[in-house]
Structure 1
């Protein structure tokens, strides 16, 4: 019986903590290494490659300031993409950043643009599923909160009515 209760508590905790998120996180050390790489780049091509790695690291950070910095870098460089593949990569990273910031509609819009470029890209399909799961979960939580509030309100009204009698 205890094992069943433990699994139930674990699954509820996983639901509310977003346990299905498979997008990797990036540490501050990796970001610092990418920043050094950008500073030490000898050619424009090396610099551009280093900036892409830094952007990747920033939008995968647990620090919201890093994520926002990565979003700014990617948005500023999106028009300078030299190929559809590079555009796809930047759109994907923008989608990850908006996902990390909780802007799921914008993230979904960007990942859909990635899938227009390459419809079978597994990474983008995986992110799209994570976005849809978050949107559905947030909707369920919102419904639960609203239902609880209505229940408390009705209970309060019933209690007041009972006291008046």
Structure 2
């Protein structure tokens, strides 16, 4: 189990690649290991670090309930951030969670805030590109649906007018 957790966290550095679909997913075994680590933490500092790792694992889960739980954990801990680095990390986790939930505008807002704190942060810049790509794609789909609806409406009106002649 420990080896699996170590492999998982070793992959954090490659969390996002140039392809936004290569986001690391977290399985239930990793989450269970992180939960155990939180329970067994000997000090408040260890517990805080363990909770951050658990939050990271949760927002990277394929299970929507885990993602929502991770978002709630990070939001609850955000006010207790002791530094701009902690705030940045927590905002980033929230941005990932909202991205996973499909709330791209909220994710974009959070990742922009991360970039205000650290403008050259590569992971945040890559997440921002992934969010922007999703927003653009969703916008194009919306335009396509609207265009189709207008076309059907015009076609219906034309059919009614032709049938009245």
What's the counterpart of residue 23 of structure 1? Answer: 23
Deviations 1:112-135 (A, max 9, x none): 111111110000000000111111
* Unmatched 5+ stretches in structure 1: 1-18
Aligned partners of 2:32 and 2:149: how far apart in 1? Answer: 46
Give, in whole Å, the separation in 2 of the partners of 1:127 and 1:157.
45
> Are residues 30 and 131 of structure 1, via their aligned partners in 2, closer, same or farther at CA, if it must alter by over 3 Å?
same
Q: What is aligned with 2:43?
A: 43
**SS in structure 2 opposite 1:62?**
coil
TM-score (norm 1): 0.84
**Residue ranges of structure 2 left out of the alignment (5+ in a row):** 1-18
- Aligned ranges 1:50-129 → 2 under 5 Å: 50-129=50-129
User: Structure 2: how far apart are the matches of 1:153 and 1:55?
Assistant: 48
Report the more deviating stretch, 138-147 or 35-44: 35-44
Q: Would the aligned equivalents of 2:20 and 2:127 in 1 still touch at CA under 8 Å?
A: no
Shift of 1:79: 1.4
- Offset of 1:43 from its aligned partner? 1.5
RMSD of aligned Cα (Å): 1.4
| C-alpha separation in 2, matches of 1:22 and 1:86 | 25
Corresponding pairs, count: 147
Q: Secondary structure at the match of 1:80?
A: coil
Q: What CA deviation, in whole Å up to 9, does each residue of 1:6-48 have, x standing for no partner?
A: xxxxxxxxxxxxx843322211221111111111111211111
Structure-2 separation of matches of 1:22 and 1:85: 25
